[in-house]
Amino acid sequence: MGMIESGGVACKCTGRRSYGFREATFHENRICLSNLRNVSMTPLLQNGLCFTRWPSVAGTRTCILSMDDREKSRSTILESSRQKRVPLYVMMPVDTFGIDASGSPRIRKIKALTVSLKALKLAGVHGIAVEVWWGIVERFSPLAYNWSLYEKLFQLISQMGLKLHVALSFHSNRRTSSSGSGGVSLPLWILEIGEHNKDIYYQDQNGFSNDAYLTLGVDQIPVFCGRTAIQCYEDFMFSFFNKFDSFIGNVIEEISVGLGPSGELRYPAHPFGDGRWEFPGIGEFQCYDKYMMEDLRMAAAQEGKPQWGDKGPQNAGYYNSLPSGVPFFGEGEEGFLSDYGRFFLEWYSGRLIQHADAILAKAANMLKKYQENKRTTVILVAKIGGIHWWYWTFSHPAELTSGYYNTAYRDGYDPIALMLSRHGAALHIS
């Protein structure tokens, strides 16, 4: 899996705890949709919503919503909604937090924040969604956690009678921050390691790295002062659960665990804010750091095709390419339906699911004692990105580069849903 490295950085560690595609025109899409009305459908009532099944072009069965059946079930939906209210959470702005001259985190304009929280409570808001940043809490040294900012903030929110949705955020938002150069980075000691070893970050085919999130290639490689990335995430969560034990299940009702850029389970195939990508470009595969390439070589060797492990697809276009004219996303012999295409996409998407599986297993195990306690309620949440552009093509290229092996011929979200269900995790689509 690659050599164990320290990146040449002096560690500050303390001891660790013992398919082809053809673009459908607007006219064709209208014909396709109108034809659905003439298909014989069997209604299935699920949780008050009525679905019908319609065979796709690939022969698989796909759920669509029948407008007629939805009207018939309207009374059921309304009756259900009277019995159960949907809690409303308001997101805490990221610029609520700042770093003072001493480098310590602080809450900005706390008086104004207090007034805003009171107003939200009066308006009927159920709770506040707060991002808990790895880059703030474990900012300076490994295993040196500073929870003071969140202790003060959670106490304030609790005093207002509001609940909490906590998002444990292992990514950076510097490139997407509205303040430009502001935002929250990864921990400074991680950035220091990254200065000597760029391969701890995702890389594209031209070697450009993205420091918004650690590559999943280091999930099991101890390059972080003797710890793997998974161990870093686990230790952070363990410290969080210890610090806020009395809040969990009482004030903290939902815990979302970050799994990638923007907290979403995906690759950074569409890096917003650094000039490389613009909507609606298809994006690029992010598997060229040395750790992921070593993993790809091992997978290819096990497949009996070592030549497939030399590199990723070389005919998949660039960030701002459109699907037409990009061979890998076409119907040809070198496209996504080829033996190589299937192998690569299964590996690429499979590693992403394994990444989430490993992290959520740790989180679910820590949450077990709260969920078994009938007096407390807490939900584990995972987030995926809503990659919607180029959905009408057969290959769904923007989804494929993001790590979702979802095409007109394959359901790429079912394996993700099955993995989440094993851990009892709710799905958040952003």
pLDDT tens digits, residue range 173-182? Answer: 886 544 445 6
Q: Are 370 and 363 in contact (CB under 8 A)?
A: no
Residue position matching structure tokens 């998002």: 167
The predicted pLDDT at position 29 comes to: 41
Lowest-confidence segment of 48-62, 73-87, 93-107, 115-129 by average pLDDT: 48-62
Lowest-confidence segment of 59-63, 97-101, 325-329 by average pLDDT: 59-63
The predicted pLDDT at position 174 comes to: 81
| DSSP secondary structure, 262-304, as one string | GGBSS---S-TTSSS--TT--------SHHHHHHHHHHHHHTT
Percent pLDDT > 70 in the chain is 79
Q: In angstroms, rounded to a whole number, what is the distance separating the alpha carbons of residues 88 and 254?
A: 12
- Confidence check: pLDDT of 215 > 70: yes
The predicted pLDDT at position 83 comes to: 57
Name the CATH superfamily for 89-429: Glycosidases (3.20.20.80)
- Confidence check: pLDDT of 429 > 60: yes
- Confidence check: pLDDT of 120 > 90: yes
The predicted pLDDT at position 272 comes to: 83
pLDDT: which is higher, 72 or 35: 72
Q: How confident is the model at residue 187 (pLDDT cuts 50, 70, 90)?
A: very high
Residues 381-416 pLDDT 10s: 999 999 999 999 999 999 999 999 999 999 999 999
pLDDT: which is higher, 370 or 167: 167
Percent pLDDT > 90 in the chain is 68
The predicted pLDDT at position 94 comes to: 80
- Confidence check: pLDDT of 43 > 50: no
Lowest-confidence segment of 66-75, 164-173, 265-274, 366-375 by average pLDDT: 66-75
The predicted pLDDT at position 105 comes to: 83
| DSSP secondary structure, 336-402, as one string | TTSHHHHHHHHHHHHHHHHHHHHHHHHHHHHHHHHHH-TT---EEEEEE----TTTTSSS-HHHHHH
pLDDT: which is higher, 351 or 76: 351
Domain-wise residue ranges, the chain: 89-429
- Confidence check: pLDDT of 98 > 70: yes
Q: Are 294 and 218 in contact (CB under 8 A)?
A: no
The mean pLDDT value for 78-93 works out to 73
